[in-house]
Amino acid sequence: MPIALLHFALALVLSPMLLSLTHRTKAFFAGRQGAPWLQPYFELGRLLRKGAVFSTTTSWVFQVAPALGLAAAMAALTLLPFAGHRAIIAFPGDLLLFSGLLALWRFAAILAALDTGSSLEGMGASREAALSALGEPALILALGAIARQTGQLSLSGMLPALTVQTWNQAWPVLALLLVTLALVYLAENGRVPFDDPTTHLELTMIHEVMILDSSGPDLAFIEYAAALKLWILGALMAAILAPVSPLPEAPALLLALAGMAGVAIATGVTESVMARSRLNRLPKVLGTASILVAVALLLIQR
């Protein structure tokens, strides 16, 4: 338990760092120097110290949603095993609660966006709803495939059960699952090719356009929850990418953190070498993610 709590605290502290790592990677590719490493923390601190401006259209839903979203992201974090160690809470079937908490976060975000009565924010909410509805089955199916592969019923059982041995035995399965999870990760976190976090045109945004009217501490909560989500979904990939199972505590933790850094850098590389895709192609990409898992499942069956 103390180690699980330590991992929880590490996630809370380090998750904005992932953003920084991605930014720095992109800066490297663009030949820029990039923002300071602690820039995401500075921005969160700046927002937390501010007052707020609320739209006259909004109701209590708009005020409640950011805190609920952040609480849901943190609760999902309590279910997430890290560095081969079980999570704070683990039980058979916890993957559904995990995805349910992410859905609750999204439900709150969509309602807050619709609460402003803005056509732009409605647009973002609609796109977010569409992408996540298609991403959810891919995520559950991928985790279910890992459950089938390892014979474990909880996240804390199945992710640490992946070892180098598993890569030897079933590397095509793991590779397919990794691709699927990567697609879900990029879509859920609003990264290229699904969404461009640095775009400047409201019409083309997804995540950024949903929060146009948020300000002050609420905006800080939203941004921080987004950073946590990067950590949460990244950790699923890191667990496959860098299986730590037989290692002792300290090297395992280092390897896991290296895995997380790898995911963040890979995100930066993807964003540097790819353009964002057309919006109406995205559902097909996510559909492909589900099909890839189906293929992986057939391979497990073999």
Partner 1 sequence: MTWIFAAMAVWSLLGLAPLAARSARRAGDFGIAVTLLGAALAAVPVVLTLAGRPPAAFSHPWAVPYGSLAFALDGLSAFFMVPLLLLTSLGAIFGWKYWQHEDGPIGPTWLFYNLLIASMVAVLCARNGVLFLVAWETMALVSFFLVTSHAGDVEVRKAGWIYLIATHLGSVFLLPMFVTLGQAGTSLDFDHLAAPGTLAPATAAIVFVLAVLGFGSKAGFLPMHVWLPEAHPAAPSPVSAVMSGVMIKLGIYGILRVLLLLGAPAAWWGWLLVGIGLASGVFGVLMALAQHDLKRLLAYSSVENIGIIAMGIGVGIIGLASGQTLVAILGFAGALWHVVNHALFKGLLFLGAGAIQHATGTRQLDRLGGLLKTMPRTGVAVLVGSAAISGLPPLNGFASEFAIFLGALVGATTPSRSGLAGLLVVAAGLALIGGLATACFAKAFGVVFLGVPRSDAVEGAHDPGAAMLWPLGILAGTCALLGLGAPLLLPALLPAISLLTGLPAAMASAQLHFLWRSLIAVEATILILAILFFALYAVRSRWLAARPVSRAVTWDCGFGGATARMQYSSAAFAMPLISAFSAVVASHGEVTGLSALFPREGSWSGHSGDIFKAALSRGFGALQRILRRFRRLQNGNLQVYVLYIALTMLVLLVWKLGI
Return the structure tokens found at 129: 């709803």
Name the residue nearer to partner 1 (CB basis): 18 or 65. Answer: 65
CB of 163 to partner 1, least distance (A): 18
CB of 73 to partner 1, least distance (A): 9
Name the residue nearer to partner 1 (CB basis): 228 or 252. Answer: 228
Name the residue nearer to partner 1 (CB basis): 10 or 247. Answer: 10
Measured distance CA(140)–CA(293) in Å, rounded? 10
Residues 6+ apart with CB under 8 A from 102: 72, 73, 76, 132, 188, 229, 232
CB of 170 to partner 1, least distance (A): 14
List, in sequence order, every residue forming a beta bridge with 82; answer none if it has no partner.
85
- Smallest CA-to-CA distance from 98 within 150, 148, 145, 154 is with 154
Place of tokens 């793991």: 174
Q: Are 160 and 81 in contact (CB under 8 A)?
A: yes
CB of 243 to partner 1, least distance (A): 19
Pick left, alpha or beta for residue 77 (phi over 0 → left; psi -120 to 50 → alpha; otherwise beta): alpha
Name the residue nearer to partner 1 (CB basis): 21 or 77. Answer: 77
Q: What is the DSSP letter of 88?
A: S
CB of 210 to partner 1, least distance (A): 11
Name the residue nearer to partner 1 (CB basis): 119 or 168. Answer: 119
Q: Which amino acid is at 211?
A: I
